[in-house]
C-alpha cells in the first residue's frame, strides 16, 4: 500500500531514540573477560550422553553442530532426539520407566519446577554454577532454580519485549521508533489518522495477548511485584493488575489502532499478524512480538530482516525501562555423573554460545558475547537488550503458571485476555475472572 501524506506534527517529530534504540553493538560494560572456560580439560573418551529436547529442523542441526565441538574436545559422544510438543509426555514416560536421558532441554520454567519436585532432576554442580555466574546475570540462575537450588542452564532464549515495524512505512510517513508508552500510543494514533492501521494483533492466539500483558505489567508494577503475581503471592485483583489492564486498554480500547479492530484481531493468528506487516502490500505498520518473528518474516514474506523488518524495544511504561520479558530453553541434568555435568558446564560457556551465534537463529543470555559474534545484526541488537536488562529480566509469566491457567486454549489467561480484548472496558470483571481461575489452578 502507498502511505498517505502525513498531516500530524507528532508523526513527523523524531521521538528521541534514533540510532541509540537501534544500536547493534553490545556495550563494553556488558562484555567482560570472565566465562571463557571450555570443555578442553575434560577427558570423557568413550562415554555416551543422550539429550532429549523440543528442537527439530534447523534448530536441531545448529545444536548438533555445537555438540560436535563438545565431542571434539572431550572424546564423548552425544546423541540428541527431538520430542517436539510431546516433550513433557516423553520425559514423564521415560522417568517412570527408569530410562531418563542424561540431559533434557526444558522450554518452561514451570516444568523445571515440576520435575524437580518429582525428584527427577540433579542439581547443578558447583563448577557449573560458577560458569553460570561468570557468564550470565543472576536472574538466569534464579529462573533455573527451584527453592534456591539451581537446576537449569539457559542456553537459547527469546526476547519477548520487542515491537517489529515496517521501516518502509515508517520512512514514508516520517515516523520514528518511540521510546515511551505515551509516544507509542501517540504514534499509533497518528498513523491511524493518516489511514495506516498501526498494529496487527494476533488475538486468535491467546499467548500473544499474555505477552502484551506481561510486558505492560513488568513495566508498570516492577520486577518484584511481577515475581509476586507469578507466584500468586498477590491476587489478580491487586491494584497493580488494574493499572496494567487500564494501560492496555489505552490501545486495545481504540478500534482504529488495530487492524480489523478488536473483532478482526480476535480472528487473526500469529503468522498472519506478521505477514500483515511485511507483505508486498502491507496492511499494518507494527506487530508486537518476540525475536522469532524474524523467522516468520523470512519464511513467509519477501521482506528482509534488518532492512524492511526492524525492531525497537517494547516502550517504557513508568520507571522500568530496562526490564525484559523472556522465554527460553534450559538444559537440566537427569543423571548424576561427571560427563553430564561437564556437558552442562560446556553449554553455559561463552564458547558454546558463540558457536551457535555464528550459525544464526539464536539469542544467548551470555553477557560475554558481542554483536560481532552474531551472524544476524538484528539478533545482536535483541541480545543487547537482554544483557542490559541484567537482573530485571523476567521469565514469561504465563509459562510460570500451571498449564490450566497459563497455557490452555479456551481457558485461563489466554481466554480471559481474549475476552478483555473484545471488551477492554471490563477491567474489574477481567481481574475477578483471572483471580478465580488462578486460585483454582494453584489448588487454593
Residues 393-426: tens digit of each pLDDT: 999 999 999 889 998 999 999 999 999 999 999 9
Percent of the chain with pLDDT over 90: 82
Assign 115 a pLDDT band (cuts: 50, 70, 90): very high
Has residue 124 got a pLDDT over 50? yes
* Mean pLDDT within 88-99: 95
* Mean pLDDT within 31-56: 73
**Do 160 and 396 form a contact (C-beta atoms < 8 A)?**
yes
Name the DSSP class of 26.
-
- pLDDT at position 34 is 42
Sign of CA pseudo-dihedral 104, 331, 313, 23: negative
Grid coordinates standing for 174? 516520517
Q: Which of 13-22, 74-83, 141-150 is predicted with the least confidence, judged by mean pLDDT?
A: 13-22
Grid coordinates standing for 391? 537482573
C-alpha to C-alpha distance for 342 and 333, rounded to whole angstroms: 11
Mean pLDDT score across all residues of the chain = 90
Q: Which of 180-189, 233-242, 307-316, 400-409 is predicted with the least confidence, judged by mean pLDDT?
A: 400-409
Has residue 36 got a pLDDT over 60? no
- Write down all domains in the chain, each with its CATH number in brackets: 43-159+330-395 (3.40.190.10), 162-322+402-441 (3.40.190.10)
Residues 274-318 have pLDDT tens digits of 999 999 999 999 999 999 999 999 999 999 999 999 999 999 998
Indicate the Cα dihedral angle 220, 226, 232, 236, nearest 10°: 10
Estimate the crossing angle of helix 206-221 against helix 223-230, to 10 degrees: 130
How many angstroms separate the Cα of 33 from the Cα of each of 37, 103, 333, 368, 369? 10, 28, 27, 7, 10
Name the DSSP class of 24.
-
Has residue 22 got a pLDDT over 80? no
Among left, alpha and beta (phi > 0; psi -120 to 50; other), residue 410 is left
Has residue 17 got a pLDDT over 80? no
Q: Which of 194-203, 337-346, 381-390 is predicted with the least confidence, judged by mean pLDDT?
A: 381-390
Grid coordinates standing for 139? 536472574
Q: What angle do CA 420, 243, 293 make, to 5 degrees?
A: 60
Q: Name the 3-class secondary structure at 40.
A: coil
C-alpha to C-alpha distance for 438 and 444, rounded to whole angstroms: 9
Amino acid at each position: 500500500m502507498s502511505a498517505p501524506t502525513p498531516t500530524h506534527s507528532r508523526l513527523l517529530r523524531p521521538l528521541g531514540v534514533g540510532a541509540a534504540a537501534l544500536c547493534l553493538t553490545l556495550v563494553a560494560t556488558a562484555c567482560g573477560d570472565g566465562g571463557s572456560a571450555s570443555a578442553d580439560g575434560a577427558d570423557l573418551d568413550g562415554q555416551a550422553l543422550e539429550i532429549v529436547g523440543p528442537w527439530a529442523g534447523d534448530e536441531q542441526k545448529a545444536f548438533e553442530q555445537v555438540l560436535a565441538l563438545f565431542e571434539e574436545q572431550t572424546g564423548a559422544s552425544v546423541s540428541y532426539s527431538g520430542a517436539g510438543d510431546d516433550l513433557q509426555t516423553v520425559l514423564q514416560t521415560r522417568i517412570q520407566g527408569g530410562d531418563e536421558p542424561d540431559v533434557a532441554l526444558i522450554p518452561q520454567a514451570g516444568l523445571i519446577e515440576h520435575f524437580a519436585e518429582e525428584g527427577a532432576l540433579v542439581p547443578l554442580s558447583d563448577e557449573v554454577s560458577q560458569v553460570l555466574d561468570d557468564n550470565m546475570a543472576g536472574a538466569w540462575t534464579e529462573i533455573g532454580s527451584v527453592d534456591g537450588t539451581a537446576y537449569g542452564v539457559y542456553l537459547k532464549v527469546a526476547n519477548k519485549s520487542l515491537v517489529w515495524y515496517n521501516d518502509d512505512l515508517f520512512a514514508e510517513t516520517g515516523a520514528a521508533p518511540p521510546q515511551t508508552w505515551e509516544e507509542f500510543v501517540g504514534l499509533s494514533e497518528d498513523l491511524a489518522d493518516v489511514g495506516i492501521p498501526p498494529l496487527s494483533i494476533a488475538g486468535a492466539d491467546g499467548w500473544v495477548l499474555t505477552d502484551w500483558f506481561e510486558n505492560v505489567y513488568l513495566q508498570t508494577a516492577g520486577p518484584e511485584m511481577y515475581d509476586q503475581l507469578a507466584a500468586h503471592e498477590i491476587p489478580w485483583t491487586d491494584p497493580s493488575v488494574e493499572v496494567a489492564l487500564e494501560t492496555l486498554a489505552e490501545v486495545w480500547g481504540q478500534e482504529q489502532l488495530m487492524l480489523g479492530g478488536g473483532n478482526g484481531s480476535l480472528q487473526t493468528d500469529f503468522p498472519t499478524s506478521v505477514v500483515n506487516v511485511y507483505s508486498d502490500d502491507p496492511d499494518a505498520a507494527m506487530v508486537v512480538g518476540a525475536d522469532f518473528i524474524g523467522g516468520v518474516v523470512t519464511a513467509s514474506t519477501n521482506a528482509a530482516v534488518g532492512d524492511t523488518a526492524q525492531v525497537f524495544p517494547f516502550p517504557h511504561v513508568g520507571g522500568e525501562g530496562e526490564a525484559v520479558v523472556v522465554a527460553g530453553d534450559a538444559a537440566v541434568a537427569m543423571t548424576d555423573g561427571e560427563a553430564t555435568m561437564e556437558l552442562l558446564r560446556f553449554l553455559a560457556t561463552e564458547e558454546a554460545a558463540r558457536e551457535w551465534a555464528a550459525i544464526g537463529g539464536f539469542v544467548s543470555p551470555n553477557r560475554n558475547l558481542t554483536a560481532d559474534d552474531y551472524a544476524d545484526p538484528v539478533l545482536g541488537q535483541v541480545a543487547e537488550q537482554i544483557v542490559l536488562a541484567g537482573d530485571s529480566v523476567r521469565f514469561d509469566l504465563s509459562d510460570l503458571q500451571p498449564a490450566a491457567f497459563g497455557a490452555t486454549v479456551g481457558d485461563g489467561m489466554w481466554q480471559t485476555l481474549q475476552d478483555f480484548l473484545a471488551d477492554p472496558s471490563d477491567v474489574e470483571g477481567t481481574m475477578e475472572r483471572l483471580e478465580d481461575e488462578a486460585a483454582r489452578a494453584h489448588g487454593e
